[in-house]
Amino acid sequence: MIGDLYDEALRGAAGVEIEHADGRCRPLPMQDWLALRRGDAGLLDRCTGATLDVGSGPGRLTVALARRGIPVLGIDVAERAVALTIEAGGPALCRDVFGRVPGTGRWRTVLLADGNIGIGGDPAALLRRVLALLGPGGRVLAEVEPPGAPSWTEPLRLRSGRAVGEWFPWAHVSADGVPVLAAACRAAVAEQWQEADRWFVALRPGFAKAGRASLKSDRHHRHPQSLPQLHLDE
């Protein structure tokens, strides 16, 4: 994902594709990332309190949340993506999610949209990392693949007619693979939903305690005024 070809695509270059390890290629879905699309609404509605959009790309979700008055920060390793987000009116920083992240331990919502649970190719490592970014009562909202899809990691690279990028690892996690992943990370599935043809889960730290857990989460939804203030010092 990272690299000159992603930068080119973000600048509007046509013909950038994602190549899979088996040689299959598909167009990089830039249009999906540049404007809100079906399935985004439910994700945005569930962002309560200070929200960190991890791998925010050109920032459609970051910008939409800022417009709703939600304290939000997008982080992305691609400088051009961060610049586009800022130009569009969303706060964003060029940061690696595995590096120093502002507000660590205080985020109410961490977003892993557009399959970003795949970042780094090790979903357990990523989930543990983002769980550590949360504050009390926080949740990770992740977009996953449909039930029945395989959960696995593969190398991907970007290519165009002119250039080929470096391979990078990317993980795929299906909706029915989430409970095992969550348990491995000492997390619980608080909610799962489908909107349009997209699948999402909400995860929170700690093992599932059915009834009490959902009541607690509902209480936070009803009292947004109790959310901690967001300070972006590191």
Ligand X SMILES: C[S@@+](CC[C@H](N)C(=O)[O-])C[C@H]1O[C@@H](n2cnc3c(N)ncnc32)[C@H](O)[C@@H]1O
Q: How far is the CB of 147 from ligand X (least distance, A)?
A: 21
Q: How far is the CB of 2 from ligand X (least distance, A)?
A: 5
CB–CB of 175/203 below 8 Å? no
Q: How many residues bind ligand X (CB under 6 A)?
A: 24
Residues in Cβ contact with 196 at an 8 Å cutoff, skipping those fewer than 6 apart: 37, 38, 39
CB–CB of 127/159 below 8 Å? no
166 alpha carbon, distance to own chain's centre: 22
- 30 burial type by CB count under 10 A (0-12 exposed, 13-18 middle, 19+ buried): middle
User: Binding ligand X by CB under 6 A: which of 61, 178, 187, 190?
Assistant: 61
Collapse the DSSP code of 166 into the 3-class scheme (helix H, G, I; strand E, B; otherwise coil) and give the result. Answer: coil
CB–CB of 148/121 below 8 Å? no
Using the contact rule CB under 6 A, the part of the chain among 41-49, 96-104, 154-162, 214-222 near ligand X is 96-104
CB–CB of 173/145 below 8 Å? yes
Convert residues 99-138 into a mask of x (bound to ligand X by CB under 6 A) and - (unbound).
Answer: --------------xxxx--xx------------------
Closer to ligand X at the Cβ: 81 or 202? 81
Any contact of residue 90 with ligand X (CB under 6 A)? no
Any contact of residue 57 with ligand X (CB under 6 A)? yes
Q: For ligand X, which residue has the nearest CB?
A: 57
User: Binding ligand X by CB under 6 A: which of 52, 64, 65, 75?
Assistant: 75
H-state helical runs in 165-209: 178-184
- Give residues in contact with ligand X (CB under 6 A): 1-2, 33, 54-58, 60-61, 75-78, 81, 96-98, 113-116, 119-120
